Amino acid sequence: MPLIVMCGYPCSGKTQRAEELKKYFEQETDRKVHVIGDGALGIERNTVYADSQKEKNARAALKAAVERKVNKDDIVILDSLNYIKGYRYELYCLIKHTQTPHCLVYCLTSAEVSSTWNTSRDATERYTQEILDALVLRFEAPDSRNRWDSPLFTILTDDTLPFEAISDAIFKRKAPPPNQSTQSQPLSSSNFLHELDKITQDVLMAILNAQKTSVPGDLISVPGTTEKISFFMSFNMAELRKLRRQFISYTKMHPTENIGHISNMFVQYLNKSLH
């Protein structure tokens, strides 16, 4: 059943709010509630968040744990920072694929409050100040205008959780419809991986060539697609290549029957990830 994604600075009250939600739904419904988080997976914060590869692996482990628990009957609460926009988009793709609603609960605190709460923790549970400051700087705040951040419930320190509104968001809303980029289908062509590699590379080259004559505000047409790239700043080749690798990895696991859709899917993915 539904996925509730917690989000916020380190030490912003996410775990306490997750426990409040768990207690509420267990009392008000007959459903099981699974809370998945750094603690449950044994993630050592100061070690993991100091190393980008270890952090990436930890996010992948959290996502995999969510995917294993999401079903037609239970509620899943993901209690982690979830501070990267692209990662929240991946979670959105997951719930589209499994056809279940979701919502985001954003525990909003100042950096100063989070730092104070961190120092009040037991020494073994604290973030180092250096790690905490770095995570605050990297934090990408959710925006309800983004489909993957909506419905969004922003909770201040002294707020009472809007339990009924959250319940309505996950039980009375329809799941987002699946699209070609999230439906898992069997490979229909022996040269699928070759085409995936070639098409995504062609899209990147078209974007890089077009930006030479574009100005901010232009919509860049990409040959072979009906989608356009919104040009708002110079595209960084390293970032585009990183997004291409992420898209290829995801598409390998969720291949499309129609190779002709790959270009559109990739441009849609870039537009979501670059803005």
Residue-wise pLDDT tens digits, 47-82: 999 998 899 899 999 999 998 898 778 999 999 999
**In this structure, are 152 and 198 located in the same domain?**
no
Task: Give the per-residue pLDDT at 108.
Answer: 95
Per the domain annotation, does 235 fall within a domain?
Answer: yes
**In this structure, are 33 and 136 located in the same domain?**
yes
Per the domain annotation, does 136 fall within a domain?
Answer: yes
**In this structure, are 97 and 232 located in the same domain?**
no
Two tokens, residue 185: 């289908």
Task: Note if the pTM is more than 0.75.
Answer: no
- 180 confidence band (pLDDT: 50, 70, 90): very low
Number of structural domains in the chain = 2
The CATH number for 31's domain is: 3.40.50.300
In this predicted structure, the answer to whether residue 4 has a pLDDT above a threshold of 50 is yes
Task: Give the domain extent around 73.
Answer: 3-171
